[in-house]
Amino acid sequence: MKYLEGKVALVTGATRGIGKGIAIGLGEAGATVYITGRRLDSNSASSENVGGSLSETQSAVTQAGGLCIPVQVDHSDDEQVRILFERIQDEQHGQLDLLVNNAYGGVQALTAAQGKPFWESEPRLWDACNNVGLRSHYVASIFAARMMSQQQRGLICNISSWGGLSYIFGVAYGAGKAACDRLTADMAVELKPDNITVISLWPGIVGTEHISRLASEMEEQNPTDQQNFVISERYNWETPLLTGRAIAKLASEPNVIRRTGRVQIVAELAKQYRLVDQDGNLPASLRSLRFLLPLAVPALRKYSWLIPDLKVPWSLILLSTLQSPKI
């Protein structure tokens, strides 16, 4: 169903991974989707070993039934971001219904720093994690809110992570994701009078190009700790498209303002909306007994489907992370 037909969306950082999956999910629903990234086509110069381009995402969105408009943008440059929103303003006559803040520039730096405590990395690791990420989310939201407030409606989704609650990938990453969730909560307070919803979205373990490559590397190392298990064994993985489908349903929800300022978990939204991912699966939420018990008791992993899909209260999750921060 084209339930987003006539809607205009912007997805930042959409050359690959979650951003690409989000753009495709919105295209499936019939939206006009602007996408940003630094690589316009596969021939563009890049220091990264993982592929992906705006042109490839545009083709995938078009194939899914949507209209996709690629715009080459470096989200560390505020002027480029301002020009992007001016273009949307002009081309769409002031309409912007959805902003998805997904651009993130810290993957390469985090990969290089893997396994090191924060003091063994250079201070610039912080900027790599949080400039194109936390700061770029803030900047894009400024320009989006200016447009949405004129319409008295809109939805801003900040792609965050359970790393804002539990230790993964290091100090700079976790601090940035915790701040992203607080950014969502505080923006929601100021934007609610203009009927603009702001949500922090937590995908699960998503099988992006980077994570798939990391899993292959971990398989060779035969990891034994639980934190590495979920990656190396592809335990309870999601496809990027599931996040896109969840956001598309959020954007079509008549009373989505009731969710404003809160963290939403992709797998839980998918269950509520009766969605499946690209492979036809519905993974368990990261706070579901179906995910947590097999993670803690390896013998249960073959029988996870027998475990009730019940949510563990946030208070217990927080307590467990304080006692065992690497889980």
Domain boundaries, the chain: 8-282, 287-327
* For range 7-29, the mean pLDDT: 95
Are 292 and 263 in contact, with CB atoms under 8 Å apart?
no
Tell which wins on pLDDT, 236 or 24.
24
**Residues annotated catalytic, as ranges:** 173
Average pLDDT in the chain:
86
Tokens at 276, concatenated:
């499946």
Task: Count other Cβ atoms within 10 Å, centred on residue 59.
Answer: 13
In a 13 Å sphere around the CA of 34, the CA atoms on its Cβ side amount to 26
Residue 45 has pLDDT above 60, yes or no: no
Give the pLDDT score at 263: 94
Kindly report the backbone phi and psi dihedral angles of residue 225, in degrees, each rounded to the nearest multiple of 5, phi listed first.
Answer: -85, 160
Identify the pLDDT of residue 317: 62
Q: Where do we find the tokens 């009731």?
A: 258
Candidates 316, 235, 236; CA nearest to 270 is 236
Rounded mean pLDDT of 253-264? Answer: 95
The predicted structure's pLDDT at residue 71:
97
Q: Quick one: fold of 8-282?
A: Rossmann fold (3.40.50)
Q: Is the pTM of this model over 0.85?
A: yes
- Which amino acid is residue 242, in one-letter code? L
Residue 27 dihedral angles phi and psi, to the nearest 5°: -65, -40
Could you read off the pLDDT of 218-256 as tens digits, one per residue? Answer: 455 555 544 555 554 566 678 899 999 999 999 999 999
Amino acid at 277: D
Whether 21 has a pLDDT exceeding 70, the answer reads yes
Average pLDDT over residues 108-114: 82
What gap in Å lies between CA 199 and CA 257, rounded to an integer? Answer: 9
Task: Label each residue of the chain as H, E or C.
Answer: CCCCCCCEEEECCCCCHHHHHHHHHHHHCCCEEEEEECCCCCCCCCCCCCCCCHHHHHHHHHHHCCEEEEEECCCCCHHHHHHHHHHHHHHCCCCCCEEEECCCCCHHHHHHCCCCCHHHCCCHHHHHHHHHHHHHHHHHHHHHHHHHHHHCCEEEEEECCHHHCCCCCCHHHHHHHHHHHHHHHHHHHHHHHHCEEEEEEECCEECCHHHHHHHHHHHHHCCCCHHHHHHHCCCCEECHHHHHHHHHHHHHCCCHHHHCCCEEEHHHHHHHHCCCCCCCCCCCCCCEHHHHHHHHCHHHHHHHHHCCCCECCHHHHHHHHHHCCCC
What's the pLDDT score for residue 325? 41
- The per-residue pLDDT for range 162-219, each reduced to its tens digit, is 888 888 888 999 999 999 999 999 999 999 999 999 999 999 877 565 655 555 554 5
| Pairwise CA distance, residues 280 & 288, whole Å | 19
Do the strands 98-101 and 67-72 form a parallel or antiparallel pair, or are they unpaired? unpaired
CA 125 to chain centre: 20
Q: Please say if the pLDDT value at position 326 is more than 80.
A: no
Tens of pLDDT along 49-102? 567 899 999 999 999 989 999 999 999 999 999 999 999 999 999 999 999 999
What pLDDT score does 327 carry?
33
Q: Is the pLDDT assigned to residue 30 strictly greater than 60? A: yes
